[in-house]
């Protein structure tokens, strides 16, 4: 399979190595610091594009790919106000695979979070909150992963209707504390606390490897399937 990379920083380089180890060819590495742009001869020959860049650049990157009818796998967060437009384009023939986090472990954690929320729904004496920690280069807060976790809570806890950043939990809102430290790949903790005890679930990424491997597996899936795709489609969750 031929892959074009948009974004050739630490994550892009990790994705490249994993893709090559799995027998794929990287035909374009589009990045302003790499000197390669969308005029690259290799770009339109790709079977699929993997995009990890910045929130303000993401949407324009997708449009450049769609001009060539290239399937896109994106792990960029912070641009989701335009997600309905992307889904509409997928109804008209484009292919887009989006995940707030491509780690297989994190996506299993998403399901665990929903299941625990269902169990806790009847127990109003427990207050729920979240802490997420990422590296200092992480631009958006809360992280896309934290937002996905919060959406899973809201979906399954009748008493919660929204999340709020860096505030105390209120009867209808989930507090998310966002911390930025060093080179932390990603830590997410959900806590339910009552007057007598607390229940905590926690996921900590050890490196970028899990995210990168998941992105390559998603690219393999997107190259063979059409429409708007997610990790739930890939993992059959």
Catalytic site positions: 134, 138
Count of residues in the chain: 237
Q: Which residues contact 69 (CB under 8 A, 6 or more apart)?
A: 93, 94
Contact call for residues 215 and 53 (beta carbons, < 8 A):
no
Strand (E) or helix (H) holding 124: none
Q: Which residues contact 63 (CB under 8 A, 6 or more apart)?
A: none
Helix (H, G, I), strand (E, B) or coil at 151: helix
Q: How many Cβ atoms sit within 10 Å of the Cβ of residue 120?
A: 19
């Amino acid at each position: 399979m031929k892959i074009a990379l948009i974004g050739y920083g630490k994550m892009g380089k990790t994705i490249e190595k994993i893709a090559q180890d799995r027998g794929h060819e990287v035909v374009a590495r589009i990045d302003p610091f790499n000197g390669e742009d969308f005029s690259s001869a290799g770009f339109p020959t790709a079977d699929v594009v993997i995009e990890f860049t910045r929130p303000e650049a993401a949407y324009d990157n997708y449009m450049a790919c769609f001009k060539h009818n290239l399937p896109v796998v994106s792990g960029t967060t912070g641009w989701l106000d335009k997600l309905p437009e992307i889904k509409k384009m997928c109804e008209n023939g484009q292919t887009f695979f989006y995940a707030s986090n491509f780690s297989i472990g994190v996506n299993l954690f998403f399901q665990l979070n929903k299941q625990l929320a269902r169990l806790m729904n009847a127990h109003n004496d427990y207050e729920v909150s979240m802490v997420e920690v990422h590296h200092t280069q992480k631009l958006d807060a809360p992280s896309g992963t934290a937002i996905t976790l919060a959406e899973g809570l809201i979906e399954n806890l009748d008493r919660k209707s929204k999340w709020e950043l860096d505030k105390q939990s209120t009867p209808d809102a989930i507090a998310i504390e966002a911390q930025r430290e060093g080179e932390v790949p990603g830590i997410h903790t959900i806590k339910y606390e009552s007057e007598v005890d607390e229940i905590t679930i926690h996921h900590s990424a050890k490196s970028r490897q899990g995210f990168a491997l998941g992105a390559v597996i998603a690219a393999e899936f997107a190259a063979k399937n059409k429409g708007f795709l997610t990790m739930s489609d890939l993992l059959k969750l």
